[in-house]
Structure 1
Amino acid sequence: MRDYLFLAFIFSALPFCFFRPYIGALIWVWLGLMNPHRYTWGIAYTFPSAELVAGATLLGLIFSSDKEPPLPARELVLLFLLEIWFTITTFYALQPEQAWEQWGQVSKMLLMTFVILLLFQSKKRLDLLLITMVLSIGFYAFKGAIFGIVTGGKYTVWGPPESFITDNNALALAELMILPFFVFMAREETRSHWRLLYQLGVVLVILAIILSYSRGGLIGLVVVILLLWVRSRKKLMAMAAIGVGVFLAFSFVPPKWMDRMKTITTYSQDSSAMSRINGWQFAINLAMDRPVLGGGFGVFDEEMFKIYAPRPDDVYNAHSIYFRILGEHGFPGLFLLVLLVIQSLASLRRMRVLARGHPNLGWV
């Protein structure tokens, strides 16, 4: 029944995707982040729903006048250069079959990113995009937090199966990324019931990150909360709220969670942490051997670990976008990524300065 309902929704939405491409982009974001098809068990589980929605959206975009050229920005140039570099390294990949498959996935996402830049340039549409992103990931935060409360926090919170956020660390990272958005929306929302929902979302997202049992998630949570506090207009009130939240969280979590978090300070004795370091060293060794092109997409596998890893039998994901880019796309790929991050931060700071003194741009 779920399959039929899901597919009925997708097919009935296609005309809207064609005639209103921005709706198609929103549905594509929802499918990519929430992965609702992973909660079906039949044909819809592997049905290319995202590709179908993207196709209708792109076709509609060709004939639609409802688009504006994106503002000239260095970030767009860097994204384009990254895509070109990904293509070049894929031609010389050590594992070409896996590399081209992953290149296809990344290229589709970058293409739809450019589509979103064409379609979402007004505050109203940006709000719709933000709400879609926040609620798509927030669903798992709400679900995981409630599950954790009911079970006393004894079990790890996981994401949807066979998705980008299946792993508890990936889910915690996604929840960390939407936490500032929940704070922003709770601050800017004027309708009381929606503001209350976003405030509740802040609490549940924090709890879900904690209950993911991800040590990286906990470290990231501390950093994000500190940054939010620094940016807060009411620092004393924010500090009191943080203090109460930390007290309640640590009063709630079971001893098993505390034992796992304590290994942060003794990482050299933890097999999981050492496996990640082994993955980092693998990436460095591979990049030193192939400094320009790296190994290409899909290079983090058993065959390559036997050649480049200090511990060949310990095949593990690097859990770091920087080491992964270094291993897969060499030093030029890492340089482009770091430059993109720095340029994005600089642009955000410049926008913040320019928006000061303009009440109508306070949301920026």
Structure 2
Amino acid sequence: MRDLIFLTLLPVILYCMAKRPFIALGMWIWTALFFPNAWMYGLGNTIRYNLMFAGITIFGYLVQKDKPPTRWGAIGTLVTIFFLWTCMSSLLGTGNPVDVMDRWTYLLKIVVLFYFVNLIVAKKLHVDFFLWSVVFSVGFFAALEGLKFLGSGGGHKIEGLPGHVLGDRNELSVAFVILLPICYYLLTEFGKRSHIIKWGMLGLMGLIVMSIIGTQSRGGMIALTGLFIYMFIKSDRKIPLAILAGVLIFVASYFISEEWAQRMDTIGNAGKDDSFMGRVVAWKLSFIVAVHNPIFGGGFKVIEYWPNWQALSQEFDSFPFFYTGEARPDPKGTHAAHSIYFQLLGEHGFAGLAIYLSFIVVAFRKAGNLSRRARQHVETAWMGTLGTMLQLCIYSFCLGAAALSFAYFDLMFGLLALIQVMDSRILPAQLAAIESARAAVAPATPAPVKAVRAR
């Protein structure tokens, strides 16, 4: 039935996408995050929607007559340099060639998405449609799983969809945390126009919090806690925010299981937790790779290649200052890096990590600067709110993914592109329009009259 409904709507969707490239762009990120194939079982399951929608987006942009001017800015330049760096690390690396090509291709698709967000998004409508597409993908799944969690009295354990970019529950929980600031922006922007949207977004944000708890992800809870603290410090409405947090904690306490409580208790005793110390072992192996290959690293998934894992394990005790307690490399199999920072360090070297962190820091600072400039005018105040929320998204990602191999995430690169395009294209255009409007209504200053001397 789902296949029939979606396939019936597909021609209409394709027509709208062909007419409006920004709609195609929104559907591109929607398919990347929603993974429609996992929800269908018949003919609809065989179609590569993401590839189809990406192709239509690219074609629609190429035939578009009035293309907005392209300004890559510092973020676009650094992302391009980083991608070129990964090309070199892939060529010179020592990882499994099949895995290297798979991850390089995956990153290529993400970078292409980043480029076309820069090329297509030109106004507020485009930004809002992109963000609503994110909400109707990750947000839909969060709402559905949150309802299951509440309906089961906290017994439902939330997992990602198999084969999906968010298939891992830890990565899924971080994506849920990143979604909260986006929902807040949409609430402030559209909630005042409709009570349905207002209460719907508030309900969705509550379900997202429940879903984060339901994943039983320690990284997700750390990111959620960090997000609340950051929002509390930044917010002008500290009392309502504290009350809201208290209500959510009170409600959540009825659905927290003993297993969940035990997992969260290990955060304070990380040094005694085998799972966490196993991650520290992977971090050390990634560090050893970077020591031997400081410029380009070892390539994608370098420590997940068994010959590399064995060779690095033999050098494990050569760096005693990198403390791992009694934990040692697993002699039976490899493990992922389990940290975006050590993942990048091992895969692309100290230089690759520095480039990645550079565009993250630049984007964070640009979002803050964008927010300050935009708040000076009523017409651009929406960018002031969104700039702050995008800062929170970056902060949540950097905090939550510190213990995850999650460096290449479609949504984050898309949000970085939004920051770039708002800073270099949308805000300057709106400020210029404001100045033009003010100049048009300003009274003309009469020219001084020269006195005529009588003869």
Give the TM-score of the pair, scaled to structure 2. 0.76
CA-atom RMSD in angstroms: 1.9
Structural mapping, 1:197-236, within 5 Å: 197-236=200-239
Change (3 A) 1:356 1:52: closer
SS across alignment from 1:294: coil
Identify the range of structure 1 (206-215 vs 316-325) with the bigger mean alpha-carbon deviation.
316-325
CA deviation map 1:235-273 (0-9, x unaligned)? 112112212221221232122211111111122332221
Q: 1:344 aligns with which of 322, 347, 363?
A: 363
1:42 CA drift (Å): 4.5
- Partner residue in 2 for 1:164: 165
Change (3 A) 1:184 1:15: closer
- Partner residue in 2 for 1:311: 329
1:306 CA drift (Å): 1.7
Q: 2-side partners of 1:279 and 1:66: how far apart?
A: 50
Structural mapping, 1:1-364, within 5 Å: 2-3=2-3, 5-7=5-7, 9-10=9-10, 13-42=13-42, 44-45=44-45, 47-94=47-94, 95-189=96-190, 190=192, 191-303=194-306, 304-309=308-313, 310-313=328-331, 315-364=334-383
Q: 2-side partners of 1:90 and 1:266: how far apart?
A: 37
> Which segments of 5 or more consecutive residues in structure 1 lack a partner in the other structure?
none
Q: 2-side partners of 1:38 and 1:278: how far apart?
A: 34
Percent of residue pairs bearing the same amino acid type:
27
- Count of equivalent residues: 364
Q: Which amino acid aligns with 2:242?
A: M
Q: 1-side partners of 2:241 and 2:185: how far apart?
A: 14
Q: 2-side partners of 1:259 and 1:164: how far apart?
A: 28
SS across alignment from 2:144: helix
CA deviation map 1:178-214 (0-9, x unaligned)? 1111122222222111111111111111111111100
Identify the range of structure 1 (55-64 vs 325-334) with the bigger mean alpha-carbon deviation.
55-64
Q: 2-side partners of 1:283 and 1:4: how far apart?
A: 48
Q: Which amino acid aligns with 1:352?
A: S
Give the structure, 1 or 2, with the largest relative contact order (CA under 8 Å, sep 6 or more). 2
1:72 CA drift (Å): 4.5
Identify the range of structure 1 (291-300 vs 107-116) with the bigger mean alpha-carbon deviation.
291-300
Change (3 A) 1:92 1:41: farther
> Which segments of 5 or more consecutive residues in structure 2 lack a partner in the other structure?
314-327, 384-455
CA deviation map 1:11-67 (0-9, x unaligned)? 654443333222211111110011111122355445322112211221221111243
**Is this contact kept in 1: 2:72–2:118, CA < 8 A?**
no
Q: Which amino acid aligns with 2:300?
A: F
Change (3 A) 1:296 1:3: farther
SS across alignment from 2:382: coil
**Is this contact kept in 2: 1:185–1:195, CA < 8 A?**
no
**Is this contact kept in 2: 1:229–1:238, CA < 8 A?**
yes
Q: Which has the larger radius of gyration?
A: 2
Give the TM-score of the pair, scaled to structure 1. 0.94
1:302 CA drift (Å): 4.5
**Is this contact kept in 2: 1:186–1:195, CA < 8 A?**
yes
Change (3 A) 1:281 1:173: same
Q: Which amino acid aligns with 1:132?
A: S
Q: 1-side partners of 2:140 and 2:101: how far apart?
A: 32
Q: Which amino acid aligns with 1:179?
A: L
